[in-house]
A and B are shown apart, each in its own frame.
Chain A
Amino acid sequence: MKTEGCRKWRELLGAYALGHLQGAERLGLEAHLEGCDECRAELATLTPVAELLPHADPARFESAPQPPPELGQRIAAVIEAEKRRDRQRRQRRRFGFALGGAAAAIAAAVLLLFVLQGDGEDPTRHVKFTSLPDDVSIYATLEPHAYGTEIHMYVKGVASGTLCRVYLRGPGGTDYSAGTFRYRWGDDSNAILSSALDLSRTRAIVVHAGKRTFVAPVDAPVAGASDGNEEEAT
């Protein structure tokens, strides 16, 4: 039964649901609840909410973590690259060059790499990291886009599961994130990443593989791109 006194009691329901109400107020509210269907129904909607509170960490209430501004562009770049690969695949099939199996696909990618390298007009940069342990090899292909630079990373020989963080270094030495990937044995070793930094302003590519850091310059022409790169102390 709804009465004029209902509001007074109802506004105590929150404290009651949290177990904070004591003494005469608690007894009075419980007496009111005995005879008020509406307040009982209201309490029934608050109790499950009160029971959820212990799950939350109040230190996280003030601000939510925000994704980095370039993440949307990176996702668009990955989708664009996937569309381009689909188109190339369809074209290869159309011209009778469809190749079966992962090994053939990798061979085709290497072939494509050499074709691109032979084209003097091609703006793509190819970088080979040289200061590496004997069994490790890292290559990168960088392509210019309106949004920045697309990076294809080819990694072999690092521990399976190693987290690799990739950055492009600008003229002032500022590193622009290009994202992360994990190298896995048996998986495709080609990771496609992107960075907001234009290729024309990119001076070096930096790869943090686990705790090791490798840097290779990318401003040199293709023929000299493999010279002068180094492992940085971390």
Chain B
Amino acid sequence: MIQLGTSARGALSRERDVREAYAAHAGELYGFAVRSLGDSGLAEEAVQETFVRAWRAGDRFDPKIGSLRTWLFAILRNVVIDLGRARSIRPALADGGPEPSVEPLEEALLAWQVEEAMRRIGTEHRRVLVETYYRGRPYAEVAEELGVPEGTVKSRVYYGLRALRVALEEMGYED
């Protein structure tokens, strides 16, 4: 799990800490916000609100309970729910344009975690998982295309799944 090098209580009470937290986690938070809200403008709004709320409540952060990353994701989750709720109760606007579609939040979080884990594993491992699982191509065909024995494709699928499991664990995913 990604940990910020902060051990004291009140890790976000200073602006410098917010900057450090932003540098460490904004990319992931933004990625999840885009995935769950389906709109980059709203995702920026959500990430901004997350850090502002975290700064306001900085004294309440306790690293003994969980990592800063987990805490920020919990805040973002609430922000996304608030934004989604505001969007769903708002009447159709005369000039607001069509609303982007939104996946249920838990499904979006799960999808984002798997996609982020896929981005973290090696290219060769990701490639064989995409070709054999997502594209449903025969192992022999993939092996020929890659110029390796079929057994190598199978072993890459195995090591790919193992790497994926490690990446998910690093991101705090629990079965």
Q: Which 6 A-B pairs have the closest CB atoms?
A: A210-B95, A14-B158, A14-B157, A56-B114, A11-B155, A67-B30
Min CB distance, B78 to chain A, in Å? 17
The distance in angstroms between the C-alpha atoms of A67 and B51, with both chains bound, is 13
Smallest beta-carbon distance A150→chain B, Å: 14
Q: What size tier do the contact residues of chain B reach?
A: 35 or more
A211 and B38 CA atoms in complex are apart in Å by: 19
Which stretch in B3-11, B14-22, B67-75 binds the other chain?
B14-22
Minimal beta-carbon separation of A183 from chain B (angstroms): 11
Q: Which residues of A contact B52 (CB under 8 A)?
A: 75, 78-79, 82
Interface bits B35-65 vs A (CB < 8 Å: 1, else 0):
1000011111101100110011000000000
The CA-CA distance from A136 to B82 in the complex, in Å, is 27
**A48 contacts which chain B residues (CB < 8 A)?**
175
Least distance between B167 CB and chain A CB atoms (Å): 10
Residue of B nearest to A50 (CB): B161
Question: Are B139 and A20 closer than 8 Å at their CB atoms?
Answer: yes
- The yes or no answer to A200 lying at the interface (CB within 8 A) is no
Q: A14-B159, A57-B111 are in contact. Are A161 and B90 (CB under 8 A)?
A: yes
Number of residues of chain A lying within 8 A (CB) of chain B = 52
Q: Check if A53 sits within 8 Å of B133, measured CB to CB.
A: yes
Are B132 and A55 in contact, with the CB atoms below 8 A? no
- Nearest chain A residue, comparing its CB with the CB of B95: A210
Knowing A11-B151, A18-B132, A49-B164 are in contact, say whether A67-B115 is a contact too (CB < 8 A).
no
Q: Is A105 an interface residue (CB 8 A)?
A: no
Contact A45 B18 (CB under 8 A): no
Question: Which residues of chain A from 208 to 223 have any CB-CB distance to chain B below 8 Å in the complex?
Answer: 209-212
A162 within 8 A of B: yes
Comparing A58-66, A93-101, A138-146, A168-176, the segment that makes contact with chain B is A58-66
